[in-house]
Structures are given as structure tokens and as C-alpha cells.
Amino acid sequence: MANSNVKPATGKLGIMVVGLGAVSTTFMTGVFMTRKGLAKPVGSMTQYDKIRVGRGTEKKYLHYKDIVSMPTLDDIVFAAWDVYPANAYESAINAEVLKEKDIEPVKDELLAIKPLKAAFDKNYAKRLDGENVKQCANRWDMTEQIREDIRNFKKESGVDRVVVLWAASTEIYVAPDMKYHGTVAALEQAMKDDVVDKIAPSMCYAYAALMEDAPFVMGAPNTTVDIPAMWELAEKTKMPIAGKDFKTGQTLVKSGFAPIIGTRMLGLNGWFSTNILGNRDGLVLDEPANFRTKEVSKLSTLESILVADKQPDLYSDYYHKVRINYYPPRNDNKEGWDNIDIFGWMGYPMQIKIDFLCRDSILAAPLCLDLALLIDLARRAGRYGTQRFLSFFLKSPMHDYTQDEIPVNHLFQQYVMLKNAIREMGGYEADEELD
Ligand SMILES: NC(=O)c1ccc[n+]([C@@H]2O[C@H](COP(=O)([O-])OP(=O)(O)OC[C@H]3O[C@@H](n4cnc5c(N)ncnc54)[C@H](O)[C@@H]3O)[C@@H](O)[C@H]2O)c1
């Protein structure tokens, strides 16, 4: 490690996951199986990717752990909250993502992860009906109880550091409202006044995490940390935050494919994305108010890659539509179709069709690992506030919309940002070369 200014990853890292459903149990099972040498963490940047450092004859390609100090998978200790009382083993079996042969060898580890009571409000996810829920006098009390959970977990597990990762259901859409979300003081007052339609339970988790010295990652499309109050709190507590919405299937394809159109100066008339999905996530998203949150997140991708102002002839008038259809027979095996209407020389139309037969949780699990390890790295490097270098993993990257900041959605530009952040933290020079 060159001149890294990152604090070493000593001791254990606690990963507290909100939601113990398909994504989180697939993530945990994969970590435990990898530890035993029974599986490979395929798709994880922190476990596989190599970054070039130096140039010319000096250049080397190094794993992240050889550039900056990183915890190993053996250093991770899990905890979780969920609305349902099923432990991680039962939940992994119920999710039907992984075969039993890939769960049984780590049954004991999974049985030991029993969900803490959820900070939950049924109005935010009507399709859920679990009993493992905290009784809260108001939103402030909800926050206090989550803070206590984090403190207890730290004490009982002896972990050195904690990160909190939201991999729970998508809540109904909460539009940022500066009266309640504009400052930390306003947010705290709204929690004390129990303004339940403006303070989502997820905001209570995020607030509690930051106050307890834990970075927070939003893996769903919830607007939780997309508000000035959370940015201010992250600055004040010197904690990193990242969000939102794991970039897994269709949006990964979109943010990787749109640059082909944009780089070759082809035009776009329309992009229609639809998919069928049958897991509990799909069930929750079948509720229009919950789908709205996802739609806002998914729609934001194209506009910053194929920009009308930059190329009015090519991108001023395209139609972009995203649908999600709940279809139980497919369970977690989502099928995502994209129909792309492009045009070329003299305006002649052409079509591209993409049919991605994916597995939602298989794509999301490595992102959970990378986001948790990298936000912990950011904290050890003394970085706080919005972590733009993590945009690579996220469908709708956080940005300061009050200053008209445009988020970077282009997958390969995001990759450059990721590599440069790791280089800088490792004491190497940043650069823009693609390799
Ligand atoms: N899998 C993907 O490709 C992908 C991509 C992007 C985002 N996501 C998001 O990740 C999240 C998890 O997806 P999943 O497939 O695991 O869903 P899931 O329904 O299997 O699991 C979510 C769990 O969260 C629990 N939950 C809901 N509200 C809670 C609360 N307030 N506190 C604690 N627990 C709560 C639910 O009871 C459920 O068990 C969803 O929001 C989904 O939209 C998934």
C-alpha cells in the first residue's frame, strides 16, 4: 500500500441489514458459503476486480485489498431487522432463491441470525403483515429504539465498527418536502411531532445509524437519505451515506447499453422497459404507491446519458417507459424486456430487443457486500456525506438537486469514479484511462 491514509480495518465489521428477505439472506448465505470455501463471490468488485495503479513500466493491477486496508469475509458479523420473525435460515428457504444444497452447509450460521423487531408502519407497505414490529409512541421513539438496537448489537457482538444497509421493501413514495426534510432541526421536530406521512420508517433507521456512528446505505429506491436534512446530519456526524436502489438487472443493462447509442451518435425515439417478477418485492411493488417510488428511480437513468440539450437532433423527444408486473410463477427469476427504438443515418428507424432472464437476488447480493465494505472504507478514510464513488452500484445515485447537480448514470464513467476513489484512498494518482 503506497501512502494510504486509511485507518486499518482492525477487528470485526458489523453489518446490520434492514430486511431479512430474499436479497439479504442470499447475501448472507453467499458470504458464509464463501468463508467455508463452498462458493465463489462472483460479481463482487471488492473480491475480484483489479485496478491499475501507476503508468508505463511502473503499472500494476491490484485487488482493492492490496491498495487499501479492507476487512476479509471472516471479519463480518451480521444482524438484521424484519417485520416477520423468521430467522435467516427460514427466510432463505422461504425465498426459494438458493437451492437447499447451497443453504444447508451454513444452516447454523443462518439460524443464529434472528431478526430484531422492525421499525415499521403498515401505511408504508400495505402488502406486508408481520408481527415482529416495535411498539412506538411516535417517530422519535422509533428512532430511539433503533439506536438502542445498534448499541446493543455493538456491545453483544464486540464488533469494531457497524454499517447499516437497507435491503428491506420499497416504501411508498415520499416526495422531499423542505418544511420537514430541509434541515436536521426540522427533521427532528417532525419526528417528535410524529408527522407520519413525511417521516418514513426508513428515515428513522438512517437517522439512528448516523447518530450511532454507523454509515448508512439505501438499497431500495426510498428517498430516505435524498434529503438535505440527512446530508446535514452526515456532515455533522462525519458519516458517509449512499443511495439509492441497487443497480442490478434492467437498469444495469440500460446504463451500460445507452452509452453505445450515445457514443456512436445514434438517435433515440423510445425505450420501453417491462419486467415480470414474482417474489415478495414484486408483491410490494404491485401496490401503485410503492411502484411510484421505483418508477421515479428507474426513470432517472437515461436522461443524464442521452441528453437532449447536448444533442437536440438525437435525444430531444424520446419516450421512456418502465413497467413492473407482479407474476408469481417466476418468483425471484425476473424476466426483463427492453425494446429500444433507435434511428440512424437520415433518420431511418431500427429496433433493439433485449431479454434478460436474470435472478434478482443473485445480482443484488454482491452489491450488498461491496456497498457495505466500501462505505466502511469511506468512513475509515475520513470521507463523509454523499459518497458519489458508489454510484456505480446504484440505480438512482444521490446528488444535490438543490444545486441542480446532475448525477452520473453512465456505467463506465461511474467505474472511473469508483477506481479513482480507491486509488486516491490508497495514495495513488487518479487518472481517466480506460483499462
Ligand atoms: N433484487 C434486486 O435486484 C433489487 C434491486 C434493487 C433494489 N432492490 C430492493 O431491495 C429490497 C429487498 O428486496 P427483496 O427481494 O429482498 O425483498 P423481500 O420482500 O424478499 O425482503 C424485504 C424484507 O424487508 C422486510 N421489511 C419491510 N419493511 C421493513 C422495515 N421497515 N423494517 C424491517 N424490515 C422490513 C420485509 O418484511 C421483507 O422480509 C427491495 O426494496 C427491493 O426493491 C432489489
Residues of the chain with CATH 3.30.360.10: 250-357
Sheet holding 161-166, edge to edge: 116-117, 76-82, 13-18, 161-166, 216-218, 240-243, 385-386
Residues of the chain with CATH 3.40.50.720: 13-246+361-425
**Bridge partners, residue 76, by sequence:** 13
pTM, entire model: 0.94
Among 164, 166, 171, smallest CA distance to 150 is for 164
Query: Each residue of 170-225: pLDDT tens digit?
Result: 999 999 999 999 999 999 999 999 999 999 999 999 999 999 999 999 999 999 99
**18 within ligand 1 shell (Cβ under 6 A):** yes
Classify domain 250-357 at the CATH superfamily level: Dihydrodipicolinate Reductase; domain 2 (3.30.360.10)
Q: Is the pLDDT of residue 92 over 70?
A: yes
Among 111, 160, 176, 121, smallest CA distance to 143 is for 121
Amino acid sitting at position 160: D
Q: Whose CA is nearest to atom 29 of ligand 1?
A: 168
For 45, counting Cβ atoms within 10 Å of its Cβ (0-12 exposed, 13-18 middle, 19+ buried), the class is buried
**393 within ligand 1 shell (Cβ under 6 A):** no
Query: Each residue of 138-184: pLDDT tens digit?
Result: 999 999 999 999 999 999 999 999 999 999 999 999 999 999 999 99
Query: Each residue of 381-422: pLDDT tens digit?
Result: 999 999 999 999 999 999 988 888 888 988 999 999 999 999
Among 262, 274, 277, smallest CA distance to 353 is for 274
pLDDT at residue 1, as a whole number: 62
pLDDT at residue 202, as a whole number: 98
Q: Is the pLDDT of residue 298 over 90?
A: no
The third-level CATH classification (topology) of the domain covering 13-246+361-425 is: Rossmann fold (3.40.50)
User: For the chain, percent helix, then strand, then coil, each to nearest 5?
Assistant: 45, 20, 35
Q: What is the mean pLDDT of residues 115-121?
A: 97
Q: Whose CA is nearest to atom 17 of ligand 1?
A: 281
pLDDT at residue 54, as a whole number: 86
Q: What is the mean pLDDT of residues 58-66?
A: 94
The mean pLDDT of the chain is: 94
What is the C-alpha separation between 293 and 291, in angstroms, rounded?
5
248, 277, 281, 335: residue to mutate for ligand 1 pocket, most atoms within 8 A of CB: 281
